[in-house]
Amino acid sequence: RVGLRPLDRMRQTALEVAGQPLDRGHVDLNQRVPADLARPDREIGQLGVALNQMLDHVDGALKAREHSENALRQFVSDASHELRTPLASIRGYSEITLRHAKDLPEDVGSSLQRIESESIRMTGLVEDLLLLARLDEGASFPKEVLDLSLVAGDVVSDAIARAPGHHWELDSPDYPVMVWANKNQLFQVLTNLVQNARVHTPEGTTVKVSLDVSDEHAVVDVIDDGPGIEPDMISQLFERFRRGDFGRSRKTGSTGLGLAIVKTITDACGGSVDVWSEPGRTQFRVQLPLFRGDLEGHHKD
């Protein structure tokens, strides 16, 4: 038992390392086998030396990965900032020119309309990238006490106006469901889920937005009876720039950032997002912590 005691200490070190989240963000990998056990002049000590060398190598690789991630994140943030102004100029000039479209040849007018629509699409992409970069950097956004029922109602009303070919339903309780969140971000989360259902399902599909309370969480379900999502794509849905038909009908382009934004914002609020799908039923569920504090001193939407 005395002879094998160093192996038990090495096992503890390995378990401590295995218990850390190593896949993203900053990692302090400072666990090592103690020097008195990692001795090259002993057989068991040689194992400790090898384990420490491996941990040094892994620590260096994690630091390099973190540096690369930070550099890429900063580049995306800077590029998004720089692109906003020229895109706004392109859109503005195209709008001004289109006011005189009747005096232009038909093909020129059509080209200008394409320039305007593409500038709008690119502006949306840039704004999404900038939001993700700011969230990754841990930027703080103003929050307030919000009634999730009102936000869901606004989102469904907008969806009815934009996609009258779909059947839209809203099921919410007759009491307020209060959460502590940024209003614009919360609106974007629900809008992205509804937009996802609209874009990837044919006209005539029924999309239901359901709101409920479970334990200490507000629960929002967005359910459609469309074609469903391929099972092998479920685990990749919330990755950035992840696009695909998933067996659904697509009518417009997609940046592949909508669901990534949903997950990033939801995680930042201390909530979660899940998805289940089969032919004829796809369900996205967002859970957010309920606001249980005193409403006095807070702005109620």
pLDDT band at 165 (very low <50, low <70, confident <90, very high): very high
248 falls in which pLDDT band (50, 70, 90)? very low
**Alpha-carbon gap, residue 252 to 203, rounded angstroms:** 13
> Of how many residues is the chain composed?
301
CA dihedral 129, 136, 138, 194 (to 10 degrees): 60
Within 8 A by CB and 6+ apart from 95, the residues are 116
The reported pTM is 0.67
- According to the model, what pLDDT value does residue 147 have? 92
Residue 298 has pLDDT above 50, yes or no: no
249 pLDDT band, cuts 50/70/90, is very low
Closest CA to 193 of 149, 133, 237: 237
The stretch 123-140 carries a mean pLDDT of 79
- Helix or strand holding residue 179 (H, E): strand 178-181
- Model confidence at 186, pLDDT cuts 50, 70, 90, reads very high
Which residue has better confidence, 26 or 200? 200
pLDDT value for 254: 60
Please provide the average confidence, as pLDDT, over all residues in the chain: 84
**191's tokens:** 């809008």
For the segment 206-230, the average pLDDT, to the nearest whole number, is: 92
pLDDT the model gives residue 76: 75
Better-scored residue on pLDDT, 272 or 70: 272
Q: Is the pLDDT of residue 150 over 90?
A: yes
Task: With CA atoms as reference, report the closest residue to 275 among 261, 290, 288, 286.
Answer: 286
DSSP letters spanning 278-294:
ETTEEEEEEEEEBP-S-
Confidence of residue 243 (pLDDT cuts 50, 70, 90): low
Position 169 pLDDT exceeds 90: yes
264 Cβ partners below 8 Å, 6+ apart? Answer: 132, 135, 136
Share of the chain above pLDDT 90, in %: 32
Q: What pLDDT was estimated at residue 293?
A: 66
- Is the pLDDT at 37 greater than 90? The verdict is no
Give pLDDT, residue 292. Answer: 75
pLDDT for residue 42 is more than 60:
yes
Helices (H), the chain: 5-18, 43-98, 106-136, 148-162, 183-199, 258-268
In this prediction, residue 296 carries a pLDDT of: 40
- For residues 109 and 74, give the distance between their C-alpha atoms in angstroms, rounded to a whole number: 38
Residue 214 phi, psi dihedral angles, 5° rounding: -135, 120
Q: Which of 168, 175, 167, 169 is nearest to 150 (CA)?
A: 175
Rounded mean pLDDT, 81-97: 84
Residue 206's pLDDT is 95
